[in-house]
Each structure stands twice: as structure tokens, then as C-alpha cells.
């Protein structure tokens, strides 16, 4: 994936960065660095943010995430966030609705998705149905009792 695509994602009005949660500049720096963020994750984010123009606010990508191993955030193969109603930071889309449906369908249909996690209020039977687009994609509840936070997890394929 060329640097130009990484730069286009970071500069896109459809990509927002949650300044309340983390340091947006550190997320941007990670996304621009092929040593930090895997090309497959960039390809997945390109489909969501650039090709389909779904506003998406990143909460955590690599920087600031605990070490979840080489195939997760720590390995630059996963991103967390939530789709937005508009391109305004914090204008979260409802947990169910047209924006969420589009986000889940696009992410779930991507050839670059491996794990599609639904955390907190995103995890509903309707949303699981929307997200289940392709064989081999693991659609799961990304939360446990006591730690079930509102977020979507995008896990990219390995190779």
C-alpha cells in the first residue's frame, strides 16, 4: 500500500481521531508508518473511509493499546473506533441504524477483514446479522462482563 493512500486516509474528512481517548497525532503517525501498521489494515480502512466515505472515529489503533500479540493492535493489524453520523468528531452514529448497517456491511464484506468485533451496545442480533457477510470472517462480541465498551474492532487478515 503506497504512502499516498496512508496519507489520504489520515487527511480524509471521514477519518476522525478521538482526542478525548488518546493522542490523535500518535494514531496518525502510526497509520503513516508501514513498520507500525500493516498494509492489509490500511486496505480495509481505505474501503471504509475513502471508497465508501463512511465517517469513522478512531479510538485506538496501535499506540496506547496493551500488547495483544503480533496479530492484534500491537502488531499493527487492528483498529478500534465507531462510525459517525457526520464528519464531526464525537458525532457517534446510533448503535443501530443506516450508518451502522453500512459500516458493518462494508467491513464485513471486505476481503481484508479477518475479525469484526462488536463491543458494548454495538453487539446486537441485528448488527451481527449485518456484519455477517462473508464466510471465514469472525464476527464476535468484543467485550466481557465488566469490560464491555462501546467500540468496533477491525482485525485485518495476516498476509
Beta strands in 24-105 (DSSP E): 56-60, 78-83
Helix or strand run (H / E) with residue 6:
helix 3-11
Q: Which is nearer to Zn ion, 64 or 98 (CB)?
A: 64
* Binding residue for Zn ion, selected from 44, 56, 153, 157, defined by CB under 5 A: 153
Q: How far apart (Å, rounded) are the C-alpha atoms in residues 124 and 114? A: 20
Mark 70-99 with x for binding to Zn ion (rule: CB under 5 A) and - for no binding.
Answer: --------x-x-------------------
Report if residue 114 touches Zn ion, rule: CB under 5 A.
no
Shortest CB 117 distance to Zn ion, Å? 6
Q: How far apart are the first and last CA of the chain?
A: 13
User: Toward Zn ion, which CB reaches closer, 24 or 64?
Assistant: 64
Which position's Cβ is nearest Zn ion? 153
Helix (H) or strand (E) holding 129: helix 125-131
Residues near Zn ion (CB under 5 A) are 78, 80, 153
Amino acid at each position: 500500500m503506497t504512502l499516498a493512500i496512508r496519507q489520504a486516509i489520515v487527511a480524509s474528512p471521514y477519518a476522525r481521531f478521538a482526542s478525548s481517548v488518546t493522542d490523535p497525532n500518535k494514531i496518525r503517525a502510526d497509520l503513516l508508518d508501514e513498520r507500525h501498521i500493516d498494509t492489509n489494515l490500511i486496505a480495509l480502512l481505505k474501503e471504509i473511509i475513502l471508497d465508501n466515505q463512511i465517517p469513522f472515529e478512531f479510538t485506538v489503533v496501535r499506540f496506547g493499546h496493551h500488547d495483544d500479540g503480533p496479530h492484534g493492535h500491537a502488531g499493527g493489524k487492528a483498529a478500534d473506533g465507531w462510525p459517525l453520523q457526520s464528519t464531526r468528531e464525537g458525532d457517534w452514529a446510533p448503535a443501530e441504524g443506516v450508518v451502522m448497517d453500512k459500516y458493518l456491511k462494508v467491513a464485513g464484506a471486505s476481503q481484508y477483514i479477518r475479525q469484526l468485533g462488536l463491543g458494548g451496545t454495538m453487539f446486537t442480533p441485528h448488527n451481527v446479522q449485518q456484519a455477517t457477510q462473508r464466510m471465514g470472517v469472525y464476527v464476535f462480541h468484543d467485550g466481557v462482563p465488566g469490560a464491555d465498551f462501546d467500540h468496533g474492532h477491525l482485525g485485518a487478515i495476516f498476509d
